[in-house]
Structure 1
């Protein structure tokens, strides 16, 4: 349905854009036709006036023109001998009129323009010019403008189609990303919700037959499942904030943040029989959002623990190098394929190995937080040789 609406919107945009351009071309073409026709008409009028000014007799007018002369005293009328009978009639009638200009038909659909003028000696002259060449030029101009407008309209349709596709493409991409995000987020939330619901059902049944003291372990597991679900939601919120809002300009000590993260995740590491330690070399201040930076560091540690076998090691090291602060999270777990390095930072991407509390947003979240703080995240490793994720941020 949404795709159909996008297609309709694109077609409507093409029609409206092409229609608007077509109307503009039509108006411009009509204006050019009117102005050009008027200019040629004025040129013909000027030429006729010059002919009447210099004519001495009716015997030798310019090509395509015919003269008539009425004497002042005798009133005798002379007409160019080559004029047709109908044109002769028109010219004799013209010298009997008042001075001026008019268009008429000289028979057989033969339009002419007639100019009548008086001279100082009292004589009256008239000149008739064939309008066929003028009408022919106007017709050719009209055809040329029509062809140009059709070509312009075709170009407008192509341009409008291209522009509409470019305009709608981001909407289609956004719609696809939105659907993918909703589907992936639903998939990520479904598992912890299912576990949480199942455990709650089990507790509800056992609470009717067992004393409360014997349910303590399962209540603790229920709390842990709730916390895991909260982690997914927190990742979503922090990811959105890191992508659309600039981090606040506050000084954050990454060494302190790393120690807090390691302390909070020691219990989880012990459950998986993983040694988790932190190494710092003094304060490592940066400018940014403490919540986002802590969440990013947590995601790196969580990812490392999830890819280390029982008895493995994870080390968090914070160092300051000149004008940068580096947070390195190193593990001796299953490692990674270098070909997968870039894909690991996509939302909801998972490596081909590893387990643990990975919700598919962790590394993408780290990358977004790094970019929001004008930093970067890199990864190095090999299959079976562990991996090292390095978060680099500008030092404060």
Structure 2
């Protein structure tokens, strides 16, 4: 079959809306990471340059102070340096001495303990480096005006900050270009994957439709001549073939360009749970397990798509049956919580359980347990999480080795359609089929 339905084909070279959101998020993340790395490198180089420049200036100040102290001339003609000499209680001052200098306290303390002192002081809006030392009976105090060095340091800092801002802009542009080139192969791979899903679903839909039609005809023609058990199995065959056709429809829908949240309505989770339990009752009986369903007579409704929610329940029951031992029991319970704002579905089994440390890992794709008769690979539970999250809900699991497990699905009630509807329409069912690279399930 070479025909293509409108939903069965993706645009060539284009990804669906959920995939575009993922690719955009990846591109933004790569851009920010690349820009962050480049910015940090430029910032480190700027800090290193500034520190080296400041260190050079400090060395220059020390050389100027030492030269002034060696010259022993109060009238030293350097316009940025002054030398004061204290002898017998009298201080010799150079011409044009700055206001507030010399530091008489530093001279007095040095004359008492003979220790050399170097300090930085602010006088009259200017910073001065002051060194005081004693030589023989005289105390010398050299003063250096740092205003020009500080001005140069400020200019260097401003230049480095400007360079950092320019570097940040260039880093963002560079990061965006590199990110776009990096994710282009990923986008093509996602497009090819979606096209494969569309093609495979389209090719399988026709034979499944024929199978469902023939099962219906057989059920109508032979129902009066068959034993009740056989007639019931035939009806379940019709139901199973219809559900499989719905899976194909969902795959076709997910492969469309925008994967719209079509077909969403108020769903009675109680009716879905009852149908799922009845569909698995014979299989559970063959495994020597008992199935129990607890629900109220009133509808317990959520807003969503019936087919994916039905498969959530089927996957949880399959997981429970596959990991329960003969003679055990499986209980399915539905109830409302948060004063009717949420719907909770719990599936509890008395099976082999799991390590509590794995309660998050079991929902990861392709996680392998090596035990149980159900789906040993976590595709089923991974899809459960994706579908539930696409409906604005959460799924969790608790259990201990040898003590069974309990899975809880929590969905917004249909009464809170504003919040749940916004979540479902925002994510779309296409998200539930988005591949995840993970590790194995129970």
Q: Do both share a fold (TM > 0.5)?
A: no
Task: Report the TM range for the smaller structure's normalisation.
Answer: 0.3 to 0.5
TM value normalised by structure 1: 0.45
Structure whose CA Rg is larger: 1
Q: Which has the higher contact order (CA 8 A, sep 6+)?
A: 2
